[in-house]
Amino acid sequence: MPAIVEVSIPVDPDAAVSLADSARRESVGRIVSRMLKPGPGLLPLVEAIERLKTDAQARGLTDEIVDQELAAYNAGS
């Protein structure tokens, strides 16, 4: 089994509360490790985002619409 190294990453307060549980923190650590391992092709998360973007564009969602929605969301925050 590879060595495990502790790292600090910034998260929002709700995530920090969730990560106080050691089992959850270990699970998240395994997910992050798998996501960041180099492999053939893109990272799984990037691949998932690309599939979602392609599907959204096929349904008529444009980058401009996404930008408008993000701007509206951020204005309400």
Quick: pLDDT tens for 9-28.
999 999 999 999 999 999 99
Number of domains composing the chain: 2
Based on the fold, state whether residues 30 and 54 are members of the same structural domain. no
pLDDT digits (tens, 9 = 90+) for 48-75: 888 888 999 999 999 899 889 989 999 9
Which residues does 24 contact at the CB level (< 8 Å), separation at least 6?
18
3-class DSSP state of 59: coil
Q: Find the helix or strand (DSSP H, E) in which 50 lies.
A: helix 44-58
Based on the fold, state whether residues 30 and 57 are members of the same structural domain. no
pTM of the prediction?
0.48
Which residues does 29 contact at the CB level (< 8 Å), separation at least 6?
4
Give the CA distances from residue 12 to residues 16, 18, 19, 30, 49, in Å, rounded to whole numbers and listed in that order: 6, 10, 11, 20, 22
Q: Which domain holds residue 11?
A: 1-37
Based on the fold, state whether residues 10 and 28 are members of the same structural domain. yes
Based on the fold, state whether residues 32 and 57 are members of the same structural domain. no
Based on the fold, state whether residues 48 and 20 are members of the same structural domain. no
Based on the fold, state whether residues 30 and 48 are members of the same structural domain. no
